Amino acid sequence: MNNLMRGYSPEQRTRALVEALPYIQKFRGAVVVVKFGGNAMVNEELALTFAEDVVLLRSVGLKPVVVHGGGPQIGDLLKKLGKTPSFRNGLRVTDEETLDVARMVLVGKVGREIVGSINTHGAYAVGLSGEDGGLITAEIRDPSLGFVGDIVSVNPGILHRLLAEDLIPVISPIGSDPTGQALNINADTVAGAIGGALNAEKVVYLTDVPGLFGDIDDPDSLIARTSVAELNASIGDGTIVGGMVPKVESCIAAIEAGARGAHLLDGRVPHVLLLELFTDAGIGTMVVGDRSPITSGADLETP
């Protein structure tokens, strides 16, 4: 029996399933892009519950797409190799050697581990990087950052083909320029661009904080719901810094490009993805387009 169910009566377990029914119906066939963060990913147990959640989404008819990061894991290997990581505005400064390390760690290790843990449940996950099938074309963002890419275009054809076969794409955040040069891209940026290109129902960012704070030093300042307009207004006012900058920019880009909504959630909470999608728990930060209809499970009428 699943550990999580120990201590619950059969009636409680049945009730949990029945309460999920309206959400399962609502989201059937919907694409949900999930960014699994470097910092939310360091714990083995969480990696396994994450895999269960993704498989459960697929099993009840959603179309999950995983985009993963790997900052801490890249940092670890760089450290072993005697290189000091450096960041500017949340973006890794990437020389040629760092690019090789990032690509090896993301595609060869982190991506493989996620595919492996999903596929303990069945032959579902297929790992790919933005270089595969022409998925992500990128260009050098700023020569002083080295091989860091800005996304120029997303060609989601390969994803449509995988989703049509009920497979779960697991995407490593590397793109390539038209000459074939690989570029390291922030994983949040990739998740947003993919979510937009697929017109996702939701883009969900699992990170290592409970959501977006109005004041990062005030735990009571968690923002439950915000809009693209409000986020645009707060970018640059100093309340959003470091790794939250590309995350918030990515929420905005995703919704502007066609995703219906975005969520910033605490990936350290086991099964937070199921909590958000299939219960009325109001958790994390929900981002909506300015006039978009309410799409969170949390806003469904109580059945």
Binding site for ligand ADP (CB under 6 A): 37-40, 69, 71, 90, 188, 207-209, 212-213, 216, 239-244, 247
Under a CB-based contact definition with an 8 Å cutoff, are residues 281 and 298 in contact? yes
207 or 295: CB nearest ligand ADP: 207
Q: Which does 240 bind (CB under 5 to 8 A by kind): ligand ADP, Mg ion, none?
A: ligand ADP
Q: Which does 40 bind (CB under 5 to 8 A by kind): Mg ion, ligand ADP, none?
A: ligand ADP
- The tokens 């083909």 sit on which residue? 161
Shortest distance, position 250 Cβ to ligand ADP, whole Å:
10
Q: Rounded CA gap, 153 and 87, in Å? A: 25
Q: Which does 147 bind (CB under 5 to 8 A by kind): ligand ADP, Mg ion, none?
A: none
At 290, list the tokens: 């300015």
Query: DSSP code of 294?
Result: P
Q: Which of the ranges 26-34, 100-108, 133-141, 242-250 carries the binding residues for Mg ion, by CB under 5 A?
A: 242-250
Residue number, nearest CB to ligand ADP = 243
Shortest distance, position 249 Cβ to ligand ADP, whole Å:
12
Cα 68 to chain centroid, rounded: 6
Q: Which residues contact 47 (CB under 8 A, 6 or more apart)?
A: 41, 113, 114, 117
Q: Which does 207 bind (CB under 5 to 8 A by kind): Mg ion, ligand ADP, none?
A: ligand ADP
Shortest distance, position 106 Cβ to ligand ADP, whole Å:
13
Q: Does 192 bind Mg ion (CB under 5 A)?
A: no
149 or 243: CB nearest Mg ion: 243
Q: Rounded CA gap, 122 and 282, in Å? A: 31
H runs (alpha helix) in the chain:
10-27, 44-59, 71-80, 96-105, 111-118, 157-164, 187-197, 228-234, 244-257, 272-278
Shortest distance, position 78 Cβ to ligand ADP, whole Å:
16
186 or 295: CB nearest ligand ADP: 186
Q: Which does 239 bind (CB under 5 to 8 A by kind): ligand ADP, Mg ion, none?
A: ligand ADP
Q: Rounded CA gap, 150 and 137, in Å? A: 9
Q: Does 156 bind Mg ion (CB under 5 A)?
A: no
Q: Rounded CA gap, 144 and 120, in Å? A: 42
Under a CB-based contact definition with an 8 Å cutoff, are residues 65 and 194 in contact? yes
Q: Does 243 bind Mg ion (CB under 5 A)?
A: yes
Shortest distance, position 192 Cβ to ligand ADP, whole Å:
12
Q: Which of the ranges 123-131, 154-162, 236-244, 272-280 carries the binding residues for Mg ion, by CB under 5 A?
A: 236-244
243 or 284: CB nearest Mg ion: 243
Q: Rounded CA gap, 226 and 72, in Å? A: 29
Q: Rounded CA gap, 199 and 274, in Å? A: 21
Shortest distance, position 220 Cβ to ligand ADP, whole Å:
13
10 Å Cβ neighbour count for 229? 12
Q: Which does 242 bind (CB under 5 to 8 A by kind): ligand ADP, Mg ion, none?
A: ligand ADP
Number of helices (H) and strands (E) in the chain: give both, helices first.
10, 14
Identify residue 198 by its one-letter amino acid code.
Answer: L
207 or 295: CB nearest Mg ion: 207
Binding positions for Mg ion, rule: CB under 5 A: 243
